[in-house]
Each structure stands twice: as C-alpha cells, then as structure tokens.
Amino acid sequence: MLQITDLAKYYNGQTVFSGFDMQLPAGRFKVLLGPSGCGKSTLFNALTGVTSKDAGTIVWQGKEVAHLGRLCAYMHQKDLLLPWFSLMDNALLPVKTRGRNMATARKRAETLFSRLGLAGYESHRPNQVSGGMRQRCALVRTLMFDRDLILLDEPLSALDAITRQRLQHLLLLLQTEFAKTILMITHDVDEALLLADDIFVSSSLPMAVIQQIHLDLPKPRAFDDPCLLQIKADILAYLVKGEAV
C-alpha cells in the first residue's frame, strides 16, 4: 500500500499542490487525469525524489520513506534516453548500474523489445528512431527495473492507435499477471477507463482532487460498455468543472 499524506510542493512561491492525500492499495491500477500544467508530473517527481517535496509524508508498505526513488520504477514524461547509447544499452542501464546478471537481463530485454515492436532496432541510437519508438524503449527500460510499484507519466502518448492498444494490453498484464501496483498519468479518458481500478480526476493548478472514481468492472473491458460510456461522460464533465475552478 502506498499512502501519501499532506504532500505539498511550491515552485517560486506558487503552490503546485498542498495538503495532497492519496492512497494506492497494493496490486491496484490508479490513473491520474487532469488538465495540462496542473502538477501531475511534479507530483511524480516529488514522490520519486527527482524534486524535493516541501511537506508531507510518503509511506510504502508500512514504512515511511523520504521518497520512492529506488523503491519504484519511474517512467518520466520525457524519455531521458542517453543519445550516445544504443536502444538496447539504454534499456539495460538499470541492470548495469545495479550489477545484476547481464545475460538474463539481456534475454528479458530482448523479449520486451520483441513484444513492443522494437526487434531489429536494438543497435539503433535514440536519434535514429521515431518518437514512439523512443517512448517504447523508455518503457522497456522502466520495466527492467522490476519493481512492485510502477509510476508511468503518459507512457503511451506518442503512439499510434494500434500500438497503443497493444501496449495497453501489456500494461494490464503487468497488473494481472505480475501483480504490479501501478500509478499512471494519462490525458486519454478512454485509456483510463480501460485500465484503471481507480481514476483520480484533478483540477487545474493548484492540483486538487475533484473526483475519485472506483471502477469495479472486470478486465479486459470494451470501449462500448454502456457503464463505461456513462462514467466517461461524468469524467469529461468533472474535467470541464476542474478547468473552471
């Protein structure tokens, strides 16, 4: 269980969020939806220690921690691939820096490259492939961390509809087959409805919860499920309301 209490972050005197609370039970998939610039990436950066938090506590599996840094796998909104490394070397970076068994890791990375449609591009440099391919490589690298808790900041935003659908399926497997706990940011309401157990709708800056929706519906889900369509209409209304706050 991840428990965030009273978290605050200010930039240059401006409140990005304050008094921010969130709970994420182990094994659950929570999606954060909110307008651009409301503070979603800042929240992830504060949770992982990329930036300091100004107040609040973070408790993971019953223990208070300064940040989730090495406890989670974090895929940033920017892919942060190293330009002088090949895609494969970028993907293997988490393993190299931790001195794990390279042969096993390489096999796993190769399987992921193949599942994510990157087979044959292992030796390419990031500037030799498309934005969507870089994004998929960043996703492989994130999964190479092999953590129970995964934070994904718009992981599928640069992908075409078919690739996106395939990767949504992969994200579902991470939860259902590998029991990962996932916190994900997306702008895509349909994606949230397909994947999430809980959707967290936030207002514009400063970020505050305007609605939390628990989706107790079996997965995989169908876009045209009338129940989902109703929830989608509600979420869009909440987002409009949040923009107006």
Ligand X SMILES: Nc1ncnc2c1ncn2[C@@H]1O[C@H](COP(=O)(O)OP(=O)(O)OP(=O)(O)O)[C@@H](O)[C@H]1O
Q: Can you tell me the distance from the alpha carbon of 207 to that of 232, in angstroms, rounded to the nearest whole number?
A: 21
* Helix H or strand E segment including 102: helix 102-115
Output the smallest distance, CB 77 to ligand X, in A: 6
38 interacts with, out of ligand X, Mg ion, none, CB within 5 to 8 A per kind = ligand X
Position among 7, 32, 41, 189 found at the interface with Mg ion (CB under 5 A):
41
Q: Can you tell me the distance from the alpha carbon of 72 to that of 84, in angstroms, rounded to the nearest whole number?
A: 26
Collapsed DSSP state (helix, strand, coil) of residue 139: helix
Q: Which of 5, 8, 23, 41 lies closest to 157, judged by CA?
A: 41
42 interacts with, out of ligand X, Mg ion, none, CB within 5 to 8 A per kind = ligand X
Collapsed DSSP state (helix, strand, coil) of residue 31: strand
Nearer to Mg ion, 87 or 159 (CB): 159
Nearer to ligand X, 122 or 211 (CB): 211
Question: Is the Cβ–Cβ distance between 6 and 21 less than 8 Å?
Answer: yes
Output the smallest distance, CB 106 to ligand X, in A: 33
Residue 245, amino acid: V
Nearer to ligand X, 23 or 77 (CB): 77
Please provide residue 146's backbone torsions phi and psi, each rounded to the nearest 5 degrees.
Answer: 50, 60
Output the smallest distance, CB 108 to ligand X, in A: 30
Nearer to Mg ion, 137 or 151 (CB): 151
37 interacts with, out of ligand X, Mg ion, none, CB within 5 to 8 A per kind = ligand X
- Contacts with Mg ion by CB under 5 A lie at 41, 77
